[in-house]
Chain A
Amino acid sequence: MPSKILHKKELIPGRTSLMVLDAPEIAAAAKPGNFVMLRVDEKGERFPLTIADTDKKNGTISIVFLVMGKSTAVLNSMKAGDSIADLCGPLGRATHIEKVGTVVCVGGGTGIAAMHHIAKGHHEAGNHVVAVIGARSADLLLFREELQSFCPEVLIATDDGSVGEKGLVTEVLAKRLTGDKNVKEVVAIGPVPMMNAVVKTVDPFGIKTTVSLNSMMVDGIGMCGACRVSVGGKTRFTCVDGPEFDGSQVDFAELTQRLASLKAQEKTSYDQYTCRCQSHE
């Protein structure tokens, strides 16, 4: 079943885009924390993306992606009106959401988009949601206005200080957690080093950190184990046991290594694509 791109917005030109996809069945069933598997065209590779938003009334989902290799580059070359070959979901376990008090949602880079859906879920459940987001500079910061539309607090950190605090999200986070006993949970989504750093930052406060992992996947439905990750010394499958896990139990070093396992092939594929693109220009 192909899925039509209804709307596309380049959030960071050439790098990060948002797409609204026509997917009524997925939209109807999707909950915060779920992901989809996509295949851009008939020769494409299946890859996962966390759902950034759903519109159940209009039957759409939103995805946000960073151009990292061939598949995302091809996806980014598509425009509204085009269709992607395959879209499958909603997959993975949904975020456990209940009314607990204050929840801090930390997002970095493209991870802010995925975090947005979870933050929205916590907000709708009646939690006081504090968003902590970070990027290198103001122009690279995603979903700031969307988060500001419902989060009572949106705290920002940028490397260059162009908006919010100059520094890392973990510094802003530590400051926010200090002295607030009402924070019941921290959710972190972003690059692996960021999630690892958030876990370390939160640990002394005795608060649970939930992380959403971006493991490599082939099928996304528990068939292959490409996405296996060590959690508390046990092997778990990100696709069916996750994608969210207790961050304090995750072996981030192993995750980092596993994400690099097909780097050479990914480069071959991307280089060949960009080379072909240039020769066509």
Chain B
Amino acid sequence: MSNATNISPAKSRVEMRCQDAAERITNFKEVALGYSLEEAVSEAKRCIQCKKPRCVGGCPVEVPIPQFIAAIAEGNLDEAFRIIKSTNSLPAICGRVCPQEHQCEGQCVLNAKQNPVAIGRLERFVADHFIALDACGQMGEITCRLTDPNVKVACIGGGPSSITVAGYLAARGVKVTVFEALHEMGGVLVYGIPEFRLPKQGVVHKELNALTELGVEFKTNCVGGKTIRISDLFEQGYKAVFVGVGAGLPKFFGVPGENFNGVLSANEYLTRINLGRGYDFPNYDTPAYRGRNVTVFGAGNVAMDAARWALRLGAESVRIVYRRTKAEMPARKEELEHAEEEGVILTELVAPMEFHGDDKGNLKGVTLQVMELGEPDASGRRSPKPVEGKTTYLDTDLAVIALGTKANRVLLEETPELKLNKYGYIEVNEENETAIPNVFAGGDIVTGAATVILAMGAGRTAAKVIAKRIGVIED
């Protein structure tokens, strides 16, 4: 790494290489290819090392950003990794799926020239370097004295928020058990986010393995509220419980014909493909739905993921159908750009009125209500309203509904002591503690569907409080 000094700072943000669009829709491999050492060092040298860095304030898990970037600029990747890992258990994942444009990079002072430091890409570069060495646990070693082995903490749900709690506490010598309902750890990282954005074997499993090396115990096939109840966990000697069960229940439109075969939630579509490895059917047993003319309803990141999978599974046409316009789409710009490059068609200002099926109940088309934009609503986005009497018809044999989710009630129904807000999500105080003492919650089950990094931030907040409660010395 000694030649890092010979690399000059990049003049503007260094682009990350990607698989070519025509090529990548014929495979399931990761689209973005990451930085080389030279690219990373030259990008790192663009950072002006602000005295009062705003980027850190934009990061829900408070990664010491200027410090790790300075280490990269010096070619000291060990140090860069140690700094990142001091607050972030899952850097290879965050470097890939965080909406940095709204967080760290959104706060970067170079943003004034639309040229923020590519913090996410740098984080990914550092994490990937250690993943390639199969050493992502190496820097996460226990930094505190071991606490009493009887002081143990349980996390219900195996997604980003719980994993963060586990990582934080395990690094401080606390015994943590994570209970996951599905057969594989990771939550949305595994069932929701596609292989081509976040490789499972190559990235997710490796970051989880690092936690296993720290002593975190993962128990799959354990449903909170069904297999185990919160009260059981306290009886078993757990001193605190973190609930990070995710949002869950998919929303549907409630229009006629929605139960025809071929109309499915994005959760079903993606879970079959991602968790079930349905893209590799029949080598794997879980079949994926394959459509010829696919319509995806919704315009968030999940909709983009579904549309891009449909292309990779051989669809002739894939359309994102949205009731507003491109400008209002909630998906990350990068995801939308990738989808369009790959050939996804955007159909704006329409909403489904009725799905139509053949005599066997299989979807064949959809009638759409034409919409127009009205006044801005509470969220500041111009709200769509129907153009009276104007409809269109679209042939489609697979409709994926990506409208978001509601609170999954499985754990909540079995735990009536948890207080819920008016949307059915768990109510917590500023320390992320629920109405039950020593039971904390975070992630989508508190906020409703949000991002991986916000869930991780919530987990970190709760973990700090739990650490104090159970008597772990703070560093």
Chain B interface SS verdict (over half): loop
State whether B282 touches A218 (Cβ < 8 A): no
**Nearest-Cβ distance from residue A187 to partner chain B, whole angstroms:** 22
Known: A257-B261, A268-B282. A222 touches B409 (CB 8 A): yes
- Select the residue from A1, A218, A260 with max chain B CB neighbours within 10 A: A218
CB-based contact A221/B285 at 8 Å: no
Structural contact, B286 and A25, CB atoms closer than 8 A: no
Q: Is B226 an interface residue, CB under 8 A from the partner?
A: yes
Given the contacts A1-B221, A88-B183, A222-B248, A266 and B287 also touching, CB distance less than 8 Å: yes
B182, B221, B227, B360, most chain A CB atoms within 10 A: B221
The answer for the CA separation of A91 and B191 in the assembled complex, in Å, is 19
Chain A contact residues: helix, strand, loop or mixed: mixed
- How far, in Å, is A85 (CB) from chain B's closest CB? 7
Q: Point out the residue from A70, A71, A225 that lies within 8 Å of B250, measured CB to CB.
A: A225
Contacts A25-B228, A222-B249, A223-B267; is A240 near B285 (CB within 8 Å)? no
Contact call B259/A91, Cβ cutoff below 8 A? no
Binds A, one of B58-66, B110-118, B268-276: B268-276
Residues of A contacting B191 with CB < 8 Å?
Answer: 219, 223
Identify the closest chain B residue to A1 (Cβ).
B221
Interface string of A8-47 (1 = CB under 8 A from B): 0000000000000000011001000000000100011110
Q: Are B282 and A87 in contact, CB atoms less than 8 angstroms apart?
A: no
Residue B470 at the A interface, CB < 8 A?
no
Residues of chain A within 8 A of B221, CB atoms compared: 1, 86-88
Q: Given contacts A86-B183, A88-B227, is CB(A257)–CB(B287) below 8 Å?
A: no
Which range holds the interface residue count of chain A?
35 or more
Cβ contacts under 8 Å, A279 to chain B: none
| B265 CB–A CB distance under 8 Å | yes
| Contact present for A261 and B262 (CB under 8 Å) | yes
> Does A230 contact B223, Cβ atoms closer than 8 Å?
no
Residues of chain A within 8 A (CB-CB) of B28 are none
Contact A258 B259 (CB under 8 A): yes
Shortest distance from the beta carbon of B356 to any chain A beta carbon, whole Å: 14
The verdict on A235 contacting B252 (CB below 8 Å), with A223-B408, A262-B287 known, is yes
Tell me, yes or no, whether B212 is within 8 Å of chain A by CB. Answer: no
Max chain B CB contacts within 10 Å: which of A223, A226, A237, A258? A223
**Nearest Cβ distance between residue B20 and chain A, in whole angstroms?**
31
**B250 in contact with A235 (CB, 8 Å):** no
Check if A224 sits within 8 Å of B262, measured CB to CB.
no
- The answer to whether B282 touches A222 (Cβ under 8 A) is no
What separation, in Å, do the CA atoms of A240 and B408 have in the docked complex?
A: 9
List the B residue with the shortest CB-CB distance to A265. B287
What B residues does A26 contact at CB under 8 A? 227
A235 close to B259 (CB less than 8 A): yes
- Is A148 interfacial (CB 8 A cutoff)? no
Determine if A89 and B408 form an interchain contact, defined as CB atoms under 8 angstroms apart. no
Residue from A25, A229, A254, A269 in contact with B285 in the complex, judged by beta carbons closer than 8 Å: A269
A83 to B284, CA, bound (A): 19
Closest B residue, CB atoms, query A234? B254
Q: Which of B219, B260, B271, B362 contacts A224 (CB 8 A)?
A: B271
- Contact A221 B410, CB 8 Å, known A25-B228, A43-B285, A88-B221: yes
CB distance from B143 to the nearest CB of A (A): 31
Chain A residues with Cβ below 8 Å from B347 are none
| A228 contacts the other chain (CB 8 A) | yes
Q: How far is the CA of A21 from the CA of B259 in the complex (A)?
A: 35
- The answer to whether B56 has its CB under 8 Å from any CB of chain A is no
Counting CB contacts under 8 A, is B6 at the interface?
A: no
Q: From the candidates A1, A44, A224, A268, name the one contacting B268 in the complex (CB within 8 A).
A: A224
- On whether the beta carbons of B360 and A218 are closer than 8 Å, the reply is no
B 390-415 contacts with A by CB, 8 A: 408-410
Q: How far apart sit A88 and B180, CA to CA, in the bound complex (Å)?
A: 10
Q: Within 8 Å CB of A218, what residues of B?
A: 268, 271-272, 276, 286
A65 to B166, CA, bound (A): 38
Which residues of chain B come closer than 8 Å to A272, judged between CB atoms? Answer: 282
Are B268 and A226 neighbours in the complex by a CB distance under 8 Å? yes
Decide: B285 and A261 in contact? CB cutoff 8 A: no
CA distance A269 to B248 in the complex (A): 29
Other than A218-B272, A240-B410, A261-B261, give 18 A-B pairs with Cβ distance below 8 A: A25-B222, A25-B228, A45-B284, A71-B285, A88-B182, A88-B221, A219-B271, A221-B223, A221-B226, A224-B250, A226-B264, A235-B252, A257-B360, A258-B259, A261-B262, A261-B361, A266-B287, A269-B287
6 residue pairs A–B, Cβ–Cβ below 8 Å = A43-B284, A88-B222, A224-B268, A258-B361, A262-B287, A268-B282
Q: Which 3 A-B pairs have the closest CB atoms?
A: A257-B361, A265-B287, A261-B261
Residues of A within 8 A of B (CB): 1, 25-26, 29, 39, 43-46, 70-71, 85-91, 218-219, 221-226, 228-230, 235, 237, 240, 254, 257-258, 260-262, 265-266, 268-269, 272
